[in-house]
Amino acid sequence: MITLLKKQQIIIAAFNDGKSQRQISKEIGLNRKTVRKYINQYAKAKRELLNSSSNSIDEKELIDEIVSTPKYDSSTRKKAKLTDAIIERIEFFLKENEQKRARGQGKQQKKAIDIFDALTKEGYDIGYTTVCSTIRKLLDKSNEAYIKAEYNYGDVCEFDWGEVKIFIEEELKTFQLAIFTSAKGNYRYARLFPKQDTLCFQESHAFFFEKLGKVYKTLVYDNMKVAVKKFVGPSEKEPTEGLLKLSTYYGFKFRFCNVRSGNEKGHVERSVEYVRRKAFAFKENFISLEKANEYLDSICDELNQKKQSYNEGRNAIEILEIEKEYMLPKMPLFDSARIEELRVDKYSTIVVNGSHYSVLDKLVGKIVLVKIYSTLILCYYEGEKVAQHERKYGFNEWSIKFEHFISTLNRKPGALANSTAMLQVDPRLKEIYKNYYIKKEREFIELFTIINEKGLDEVLKVIKSLKSLSPLDISNEKIKVLLNRHKESSHPVNMKNCEILENSRQMLEQYKSLIPISDKGFVEEVLLW
């Protein structure tokens, strides 16, 4: 069997580079039968995916087929030697030597053999020749000349992370800024994520390509953990499975910068600082991460409209439109979700990374399918979505939705006041409970049934009207009356038709039995609604 990397190389070579099966077989070192097998599998899956209906179950299966990892024997794989940690230690020793020379202690510097011995004592598995070659490269780097690169339309785009601290609902939170910058036109795209993990990495690419409607041929990364699995030599790196899946699915190639060589992706290096400053130096308070990303997207659009003197006065958007003719075609949005099957516990919750998320109380003890995204948790039972939550990243956090516990609370109304569900209910409804429903827990629970049917905004609107008319007498029956009257009034009626008007008045007379006679204002409000 072949590795996912080999599979990716076959697909890229066949469909992007237009190479023959004979050429691919020779370059990759696999027989033509194997090459032909993976080319045919990919072509068939891609064709079916592009022709499939949106959001179908088969679509997810087809995506998985394209990016699936072939099984292989890793027992003979060459052990990684040179790592980022080792390079950092070597740089530390070389810096020490530099400081000693400055103090006139040149004869007390560590030689290559001394650095090798120190690394060995610290527990690192590294060869002496590798240490020597790494030292030479690091020392020669200061004398390295930078060569200005020229880029073709639609060819290269760079990716990087940055850190941003903003306020969400007045709480200071740290987010990761995923940012893309095209090499040719300096087109910028950015999005905030909770973490720098594989899910966020994959989602950032999916959102970026979805916005473009196209895909760049080559993506450039530094040695970030979500892209580089490990070093397999002084300069060779093994990509992560997450990156390989993206590359295989969308069809782009990738390359990595040399260690400590940010200049090799200088466009995006500058963009991280530039976009972060232009966006969040002016605004830092948001009601949600979603709103922060909407704002960030608008800032990037503004920046992309600025004229570029080095690009003949054109802006990034204008250049992007030219680039699209040379870019790879769009694919359906990549589904990066991690899927798990979890049992619903006695609290009617499922647990993801130590945090609890509620589902319908009737599902206690059942197995539900959970799709885990960077900011979202979706729960399904027998093919039907039964819960949706904003993802939590703390430990032992609870996301509880009141409506999931209606049947249980109907049996145990006394548990309402001190329940976790009540603590997380909308603050506006908490206030209504405090003012009108204390010791009337069953009625408050019934109110949620009305909310599920009519919508929270409509119910709150009716309660507001009732408060202005009869602030001491709020009831579910009155709420139902006004909601029904509002529904009827939404249909145009010719008020000149006496028969219809008379029927309406007779209906209201029946409603009056539910209303205190002294509540004249309420009656008038209903008549005029």
Contact criterion met (CB below 8 Å) for 151 and 325: no
CA 200/CA 156 separation, integer angstroms: 21
Give residue 526's region: left, alpha or beta (phi > 0; psi -120 to 50).
alpha
Does 504 share its domain with 423? Answer: yes
Does residue 308 share a domain with residue 217? Answer: yes
Tokens 């390079």 label which residue? 87
- The domain in which residue 369 lies consists of 338-399
Q: 282 and 383 share a domain?
A: no
Does 54 map to a domain?
Answer: yes
The answer to whether residue 151 is domain-embedded is no
Token pair 């190639």 is found at: 253
The helix or strand, by DSSP H or E, that contains position 506, with its residue range, turns out to be helix 498-511
- Judge if 239 and 347 occupy the same domain: no
CA–CA gap between residue 400 and residue 358 (Å, rounded): 5
Partnered with residue 385 across adjacent β-strands are: 380
CB atoms within 10 A of CB 54: 7
Given 312, 329, 346, the domain boundary residue is 329
Residue 79 lies in a domain: no
* Same domain? 421 vs 476: yes
What is the DSSP track for 72-92?
A: ---TTPPPP---HHHHHHHHH
Q: Do 429 and 321 sit in the same domain of this protein?
A: no
Same domain, residue pair 14 and 121: no
Cα separation of 178 and 300, whole Å? 12
Distance CA 5, CA 311 (A): 36
411 and 393 share a domain? no
72 domain-assigned: no
φ and ψ of 455, to 5 deg: 100, 140
Q: Are 485 and 526 in contact (CB under 8 A)?
A: yes
Q: How many CB atoms lie within 10 A of CB 324?
A: 15
Rg value, the chain, Cα: 31
- Helices within 229-285 (DSSP H only): 241-250, 266-280
In a domain, 160, yes or no: yes
Are 125 and 208 members of one domain? no
CA distance 2 to 521: 79
- Domain edge (last residue) among 96, 114, 143: 143
92 in the same domain as 220 = no
Q: Are 324 and 194 in the same domain? A: yes
Question: pLDDT 10s digit of each residue in the chain, 529 long?
Answer: 567 777 777 777 777 778 888 888 877 777 888 888 888 888 888 888 777 665 555 677 777 777 777 654 444 445 456 888 888 889 889 888 888 787 777 777 888 888 988 888 888 888 888 888 888 888 876 555 544 567 899 999 999 999 999 999 889 999 999 999 999 999 999 999 999 999 999 999 999 999 999 999 999 998 888 998 887 665 678 899 999 999 999 999 998 886 555 445 566 778 898 999 999 988 999 999 999 999 999 999 999 999 988 778 899 999 999 999 999 999 999 998 899 999 998 888 999 998 989 898 889 899 999 999 999 999 999 989 999 999 988 877 888 887 787 777 666 666 565 666 666 666 777 777 777 777 777 777 777 777 767 777 777 888 777 777 766 677 777 777 777 776 655 555 444 455 555 565 665 565 555 555 445 444 444 444 4
Q: Is residue 488 part of a domain?
A: yes
The CA distance from 354 to 270, in Å, is 37
User: How far, in Å, CA of 457 to CA of 444, rounded?
Assistant: 16
> Reduced to 3 states, what is the DSSP secondary structure of residue 14?
helix
Tokens of 79: 């052990």
Contacts of 427 (CB under 8 A, 6+ apart): none
Total structural domains within the chain: 5
Q: Is residue 75 part of a domain?
A: no
Q: Where are the alpha helices (DSSP H) in 306-404?
A: 316-323
Is beta strand 398-399 parallel, antiparallel or unpaired with respect to 355-358? parallel
The pLDDT score that the predictor gives to residue 176 is: 95
Q: Is the pTM of this model over 0.75?
A: no
CB within 8 Å of 54: residues ≥ 6 apart: 332
Cβ–Cβ < 8 Å for 328, 215: yes
Instruction: Retrieve residue 165's tokens.
Output: 């601290």
Read off the tokens for 177.
């800024």
> CA-CA distance, 65 to 41, in Å (whole number)?
9
- Give me the pLDDT at residue 132, please: 87
Q: Identify the CATH number of the domain in which residue 205 sits.
A: 3.30.420.10
Q: Are 379 and 350 in contact (CB under 8 A)?
A: yes
Residue 433 inside a domain? The answer is yes
Same structural domain for residues 309 and 429? no
